[in-house]
Amino acid sequence: MVLETILLPRDDAGVRNHVERYKAFRLQALKTAPLMFGSTYERESAFTSGMWETRLKNPRAFTLLTLQDKGVVGSLTMISLPFGPEELPAFGDPWKSLNGEAPKEPAYSHWRLNAMFTLPEVRGQGIAKALIKKGIILGHEEAAKAGKEFVGSVVVDLDNPAAKSLYEKCGFCDNSLDNDLLLTPLQIACNLAGTSIPSAAILNAQNIASSLDSQVTTTVTTGGSSATGSTEATATVQPSGSDRPAAQSVFVSTTTTTAT
């Protein structure tokens, strides 16, 4: 079966051609995996046609769809957030961050990977990985147009090993222990000594982190101003008022991913 990834257009005619299948797939994703998203099926099923069209026309977002035999099997939306990664707000619907004016001009071109979803029956075929890589490349292109450094972020739950593995395969590494400040003194000592952190200490910190009652907003970030070459990484963590049941984890990449 042939797979095709398309970038949805923002112009009026293009939006009208794609809005219904985008809407259908988005609602299917919200119904299939409600805990994966910051929004709900009940909320978005009440959207008017104009609201769906406005979302696709938004100049600060773009959406990718993966098609298999002309049916949608995967999607990813990249949203340009009006602040740098060090200013991430509490976890929530990133679309809401586009309302109102940014407090200041951000130093980065910061793109949130949002609404990442593939149908359960097509997983394991590399569709999600290809979507993520394509999204990052397009994010770099948008950053280059603005003359800024690209930074990408995503929220990942600690209790979702499949998602953690996916981002690791895309070149990201788990940096949650740095941001939880559970191992920082030990990490400094080990770095100075040129030795690795004992596995028992890492396991203990992970157990402590998973038992914390407070929620956190976490990011996967990739810095860089082009789609190729090495980059600097950035990550942040902040308290969250969300009622999501799972704690989240930070993943960081120090190299730019490219599509294959």
Each residue's pLDDT tens digit, 133-170: 999 999 999 999 999 988 887 778 777 888 888 877 87
Q: For residue 206, what are its two tokens?
A: 């992970």
Q: Following DSSP, what letter does each residue of 175-229 receive, concatenated?
A: -HHHHHTSSHHHHHHHHHHT-PPPHHHHHHHHHHHHH-SSEEEE-EE--BSSSSS
106 assigned to some structural domain: yes
Q: What is the pLDDT of residue 243?
A: 44
Q: What is the mean pLDDT of residues 57-85?
A: 91
Predicted pLDDT at 168:
76
Is 45 part of a structural domain of the chain?
A: yes
| Mean of pLDDT over the chain | 73
Q: Which domain holds residue 109?
A: 3-252
For the segment 54-72, the average pLDDT, to the nearest whole number, is 95
Is 207 within the bounds of a domain?
yes
Q: How many domains does the chain have?
A: 1
Question: How does pLDDT run across 196-225, given as a tens digit for each residue?
Answer: 656 565 555 555 444 443 333 333 334 443
Residue at 126 is within a domain: yes
Structural domain includes residue 258 = no
- Please report whether residue 238 resides in a domain: yes
Cα 12 from chain centre: 27
| 29 within a domain of the structure (yes/no) | yes
Q: Are 4 and 65 in contact (CB under 8 A)?
A: no
pLDDT exceeds 90 at position 259 = no
Domain membership flag for residue 257 = no
Q: What is the pLDDT of residue 242?
A: 39
Query: Which CATH number covers residue 22?
Result: 3.40.630.30
CA–CA distance, 165 with 101 (Å, rounded to integer): 36
